[in-house]
Amino acid sequence: MSLPSDFLWGFATASYQIEGAAEADGRGPSIWDTFCAIPGKIADGSSGAVACDSYNRTKEDIDLLKSLGATAYRFSLSWSRIIPLGGRNDPINQKGLDHYAKFVDDLLEAGIEPFITLFHWDLPDGLDKRYGGLLNREEFPLDFENYARVVFKAIPKCKHWITFNEPWCSSILGYNTGFFAPGHTSDRSRSAVGDSTREPWIAGHNILVAHGRAVKAYRDDFKPQSDGGEIGITLNGDATYPWDPEDPADVEACDRKIEFAISWFADPIYFGHYPESMLKQLGDRLPTFTPEEVALVKGSNDFYGMNHYTANYIKHKTGPPPEDDFLGNLETLFYNKAGDCIGPETQSFWLRPHAQGFRDLLGWLSKRYGYPKLYVTENGTSLKGENDMPLDKIVEDDFRVKYFNDYVNAMAKASSEDGVNVKGYLAWSLMDNFEWAEGYETRFGVTYVDYEHDQKRHPKKSAKSLKPLFDSLIKKD
């Protein structure tokens, strides 16, 4: 059981979750700044205004990465720090651009390979107000392409680019349930605007086209000079098992759940069209690709970025699905018909560890998409009650150590026994941070951040567990 000799490993973060410095050096507001200001949207009433203060602590973060032995670091850029108003005719903020260019230089000097995500949910608020942001099929892809070009030109030393992080979350949580910015939903008790039956599918479509435009720009004008540069998208999804393995409808629903979560975006990229199961359920609510859009989107992945955390038992539903259904007319459960539990509780209501599911999903995706080069761009866990423990208990996070050990070993088996072409693993997350709608109550970091005492970092046991783990699994040349 082993991983390839050129395997990269490290940690992942996102700009709005760690940077803070929300108004420093010309940064404009993002939809998350606006969303956090609405009472009741964030569990503890907090925001990313200060977060981990990483904007001012890049040296400290790089020293932390070095001390843990990481060979790669995935982080995202704040679009509104680079183009405060967001648009292709709006001014560029050179200070923001210079900050990220220097950060990449410093990472490389430390021997750490940067993976840059262009969009991790924090759309410039100016674009949302100007034309509806992700819902605008004409303007959004052009503005995203322009932003991507500005960054590609300014940071030529980065070899690994991710266009969008988890477009499922931007689309469903932003435009169906309304739990994430900009908070659109048909539920009028939660939002004055939104159509949960149509808007998420429009947003998802426009993200795919914007992704395609950015990839074409990179391949045409930047990749030839990049000495091996690559670009892809990161998609999220859970492993699935039938609630009743004897029921063919439950078995079928397992694939449908993955199709509604992952293949919604991956099928157009690899095959040029949406999954049949989605077309069947959604009909004309799913936008149709024009021939020009197909040409942009199909084949637009140099690698597959995979975010994965958990697994579910899947039970099919009978009868027509409600119009706002986004799962595929099914239930996701933690117990199966026999009463087996999928995994232990965590602080996150949606997350139960089940490492075999990771291996199984790696195999499922590889088979469906022709065994592409694959990076695991996020994987990790919260711990039940961690935020309420004393520091000496928090840093002894044996639950997280076991999670990483089990999941990384499952990935190594997928690599050495199942033919999965996995080339990197980026644990979520380098440090505790602003956990979106859950605020600071949920911690995913391998490093404890003491928000009350100057954002001081304290590496946990899990932080130090990954280097020996990868050293034991990566083949030596």
pLDDT in tens, 141-199: 999 999 999 999 999 999 999 999 999 999 999 999 999 999 999 999 999 999 999 99
What tokens were used for 399? 């639950």
| List 378, 386, 435, 438, catalytic entry | 378
338 located within any domain: yes
pLDDT at 477 over 90: no
Q: How far apart are CA 341 and CA 355, in angstroms?
A: 13
Q: Is the pTM of this model over 0.95?
A: yes
1 located within any domain: no
3 located within any domain: no
CA separation, residue 312 to residues 241, 260, 266, 340 (Å) = 6, 14, 21, 11
Count of domains for the chain = 1
56 located within any domain: yes
2 located within any domain: no
Percentage above 90 pLDDT, the chain: 100
pLDDT in tens, 253-276: 999 999 999 999 999 999 999 999
| List 19, 166, 293, 386, catalytic entry | 166
Coil, strand or helix at 358: helix
Domain that includes residue 428, residue range: 8-473
pLDDT at 284: 97
426 located within any domain: yes
312 located within any domain: yes
pLDDT in tens, 290-339: 999 999 999 999 999 999 999 999 999 999 999 999 999 999 999 999 99
CA separation, residue 351 to residues 207, 332, 380, 394 (Å) = 26, 12, 10, 19
Report the CATH number that the domain containing residue 195 is assigned in CATH.
3.20.20.80
354 located within any domain: yes
CB atoms < 10 A from the CB of 411, how many? 26
Catalytic site includes residue 378: yes
Catalytic site includes residue 230: no
Q: How far apart are CA 357 and CA 308, in angstroms?
A: 10
